[in-house]
Amino acid sequence: MDPVADDSIAALRVEAIAFLDAHASPRPADAPFVWGEGSDGVSLFEEGSLDEQRATVAREKEWAAVRYDAGFGWIDGPVELGGRGLTRAHRQAYAELERRYEVPMGACLTIGVWMVAPPLLRYGSEALQRAVLPGLHRGDILACQLFSEPGAGSDLASLTTAGVRDGGDWIVTGQKVWTSNAHVADVGMALVRTDPDAPKHRGITCLLVDMHAPGVEVRPIRQMTGGAGFNEVFLTEVRVPDSHRLGDVGGGWGAALTTLGNERTAGSSGLGLAPGPGPFARLVELVRRHGDPTDPHTRQRLAEIWSHERITTWTLDRGTAALRAGQPPGPEMSIVKLRSARRHRAIADLASAVLGPRVVADTDEWGTFAWAQYVCGVPGARLGGGTDEVQRTIVGERVLGLPKEPGP
């Protein structure tokens, strides 16, 4: 342990507690919680109506601005770009403290901060970094990820949205789909095909699209959770300045890999990104209130979920440390993604078993039907950020050294 680093983390903690005490109420350690209740009742899968989402976004943006202005919004970011120049350990120390207070979760910032900022920091021009990075962390600029298309999901490199050079601009035309948060986003990180004749991974360029530009049309998609968190995005001759390019022309795949590596970790929500109790803590509460906490089978399932959660967190820590040290995303992110999807499934299954019919019928009983949205959202965790099957192929080839999957 580095005693100097320890001292500076301790000093940050003192400063952070003073800030949080002044701006938020502490969350009582023994406060009961359920889905949909209190400011920490928001989750990855709880999206609500569009009006409810907009109200949540407004609250999250307001809190993000207060936090950023106090110096806690981008703790490990470079000072010259508006960060605080400290380490990931400092950022984590703050995040742990923030979780003990009643503050908005900040889900609307997740894509910008965890998926768009890292490739922007690595591949964007200095001017673009200065223009966008502080806003992503302060909540002034919300981002989405314009990757998947109707004909390009798992095989993302087959994408066909076209980018054609026009002087100092690109003219972008095509369709994206399943774009989370496009309906509230200000910018979209888009993969576009700029050289149809190049091998498919090398003809792709990454551009940061202004989501308010003429030619951008966003249509929300209703999900089985009842929410509408993702969208179809139609791009019709959208003009994007070349200065909004991330990486070389034809080099967009590198930026895409940086994003996907980060997405596989950020998608593991409840593993330290969000304030408030994660799904596991809520599950324990559910069992205490509506199940039988002395039942050996239930206890065994809880212990199993908890063990997986710990292992996933450690793998995630190893992977993110490597990313921050400048290494490309490794296959451990696929393991994290797989485990995280499995953990959500296990939590949903046990919650459904405890609740029985109360998970599908609103009986007005406290803390029961609120789980329905989580249970319905869990299958999506197996798909978003790359499906389970695709992650297994990555692990098979890159960890186990199995022969490469045959081409189509």
Ligand X SMILES: Cc1cc2nc3c(=O)[nH]c(=O)nc-3n(C[C@H](O)[C@H](O)[C@H](O)COP(=O)(O)OP(=O)(O)OC[C@H]3O[C@@H](n4cnc5c(N)ncnc54)[C@H](O)[C@@H]3O)c2cc1C
How far apart are the C-alpha atoms of 63 and 139, rounded to whole Å? Answer: 8
Among 68, 74, 94, 147, binds ligand X (CB under 6 A): 147
Tell me which residues are annotated as active site. Answer: 263
For residue 380, state whether it binds ligand X (rule: CB under 6 A): yes
Applying CB under 6 A, which of residues 6, 356, 389, 398 lies at the interface with ligand X?
Answer: 389
Distance CA 47, CA 228 (A): 7
Using the rule CB under 6 A, is 153 a contact of ligand X?
A: yes
- Residue number with CB closer to ligand X (179 or 312): 179
Question: Binder to ligand X among 125, 387, 396, 397 (CB under 6 A)?
Answer: 387
Site string for ligand X, 192-231 (x = CB under 6 A): --------------------------------------x-
| Among 341, 336, 342, 340, residue whose Cα is nearest residue 320 | 336
Decide: is 38 part of the binding site for ligand X (CB under 6 A). no
Alpha-carbon span 245 to 402, nearest angstrom: 36
In whole angstroms, give the CA distance from residue 352 to residue 329.
35
Residue range at the interface with ligand X (CB under 6 A); choices 76-84, 175-183, 243-251, 326-334: 175-183
41, 226, 330, 384: residue in contact with ligand X (rule CB under 6 A): 384
Contact 143, 136 (CB under 8 A): yes
Question: Which of 274, 287 has the CB closer to ligand X?
Answer: 274
Using CB atoms, what's the residue nearest to ligand X? 153
Least distance CB 391 / ligand X (angstroms): 9
Task: Give the Cα separation of 333 and 62 in Å (integer).
Answer: 31
Looking at this protein, which amino acid is placed at residue 293? Answer: P
Q: Interacting stretch for ligand X, rule CB under 6 A, among 86-94, 126-134, 173-181, 323-331?
A: 173-181
Piece in contact with ligand X (CB under 6 A), picked from 139-147, 208-216, 269-277, 330-338 = 139-147
Query: Which uninterrupted H or E stretch holds 280?
Result: helix 279-290
The binder of ligand X chosen from 56, 180, 262, 315 (CB under 6 A) = 180
Helices (H), 48-205: 50-69, 88-98, 107-110, 117-123, 126-138
Report the sign of the C-alpha dihedral through residues 343, 345, 349, 352, in that order.
positive
Select the span of 64-72, 80-88, 178-186, 347-355 touching ligand X (CB under 6 A): 178-186
Query: Is 352 one of the binding residues for ligand X (CB under 6 A)?
Result: no
Q: Does 53 bind ligand X (CB under 6 A)?
A: no
Cα separation, 124 vs 119, whole angstroms: 7
Closest approach, Cβ 403 to ligand X, in A, equals 14
The two tokens of residue 309 are 């959660």
Q: Which of 266, 257, 224, 265 is nearest to 107 (CA)?
A: 266
* 200, amino acid identity: K
Closest to ligand X by CB, 169 or 388? 388
- Residues sharing a CB contact under 8 Å with residue 109, sequence separation 6 or more, in sequence order: 60, 64, 136, 137, 139, 142
Kindly list the residues in this chain that would bind ligand X in the complex (CB under 6 A): 144-145, 147-148, 153-154, 178-180, 230, 380, 383-384, 386-387, 389-390, 393, 405
